[in-house]
Structure 1
């Protein structure tokens, strides 16, 4: 999901994005968290670039979950990740030593980028995510194991906030990049 985006730009109009978030991580590029919402509210647009930007990482063997909280008003949300969902030509899944995160909010009805913000993960948090991604990358992929792990997390921790409070392996407040 390598995309160079700017506020006001339209992503491919022929692609229909599902509601929610998509996460990509490739060595040599910032981590990219793309959030697709139907007609995002002005508070959601504003929250993308408002401090604090908080993250939590859950490593569940066959799936990683990045929980995120943007700004002081919005609650926790989440995006699941496995390095096996990307083609080899996309690049090597991983987290750079300069752990920047590009957050992109897209109006999924128009495919127009509404907000863009880049932050930096503290190194202890980035190291936890990096090690998790490398381990998952080296583990043979099983769609069943991925779906089972994700379903088990959601049964035990039904909300993103439950995941953050009761299950996260690492937490951080990101710094401006």
Structure 2
């Protein structure tokens, strides 16, 4: 990696945010696996829930599109959200390679979309089975790339038929990040 990106809570988020809407973004690039949650209305409870609370993840693939499903107690009262994975907006020089896919870590970021600042960050190691589903989808996307428009059409078609809860029911893998406070008590 030629340049280093500094993620510091309270500072402007160092990467461009293409969609200004509330919700999750799931990305894989040369720096690894990333989940970005963008919210326009946050409070201290939401920040702590993201930083230290239990977070549930699941993966479902529909029509070649991999959805990261997420549920975060303290932020969402309505259950599951989803974030589809696309390589179509990743710059060519930042596309993931086999070396960057080895690490089964997801980097989690909570960003205020109004102020464009990083509110909280966290890392999570996921089981190998979970990581392998992501790797396989990335390999397929690299071999058979979709344009941003084709990707959006496929996602819209899935969303027209399935809710996030429906997608969760179809999940091929799931993982729960435990409360970080419980882990801190053990040390």
TM-score (norm 2): 0.78
5 Å-filtered alignment, 1:14-93, equals 17-19=19-21, 20-27=23-30, 29-71=31-73, 74=76, 75-92=79-96
User: CA 1:100–1:162 in structure 2 vs 1: closer, same or farther (change >3 Å)?
Assistant: same
Q: 2:137 aligns with which of 132, 136, 142?
A: 132
Q: 1:173 aligns with which of 173, 176, 184?
A: 176
User: CA 1:17–1:153 in structure 2 vs 1: closer, same or farther (change >3 Å)?
Assistant: closer
TM-score (norm 1): 0.82
Q: Give yes or no for contact 1:62–1:145 (8 Å, CA) kept in 2.
A: no
What is the aligned partner in structure 2 of residue 117 from structure 1?
122
CA distance in 1: counterparts of 2:53 and 2:177, whole angstroms = 9
Deviations 1:17-58 (A, max 9, x none): 51222222124x331111111131323211112342211112
User: Unaligned 5+ residue runs, structure 1?
Assistant: none
CA distance in 1: counterparts of 2:52 and 2:71, whole angstroms = 10
| Structure 1 ranges of 4+ moved more than 3 A | 14-17, 71-74, 142-145, 174-177
User: Unaligned 5+ residue runs, structure 2?
Assistant: none
Q: 16-25 vs 99-108, which deviates more?
A: 16-25
User: CA 1:137–1:91 in structure 2 vs 1: closer, same or farther (change >3 Å)?
Assistant: closer
Tell me the CA shift for residue 6 of structure 1.
1.5
What is the aligned partner in structure 2 of residue 104 from structure 1?
109
CA distance in 2: counterparts of 1:62 and 1:142, whole angstroms = 13
CA distance in 2: counterparts of 1:92 and 1:111, whole angstroms = 25
CA distance in 1: counterparts of 2:85 and 2:95, whole angstroms = 15
Tell me the CA shift for residue 3 of structure 1.
4.5
Q: Give yes or no for contact 2:36–2:108 (8 Å, CA) kept in 1.
A: yes
Tell me the CA shift for residue 157 of structure 1.
1.2
Q: How many residues align?
A: 173
User: CA 1:25–1:44 in structure 2 vs 1: closer, same or farther (change >3 Å)?
Assistant: same
SS in 1 for 2:165: helix
Q: Give yes or no for contact 1:102–1:116 (8 Å, CA) kept in 2.
A: yes
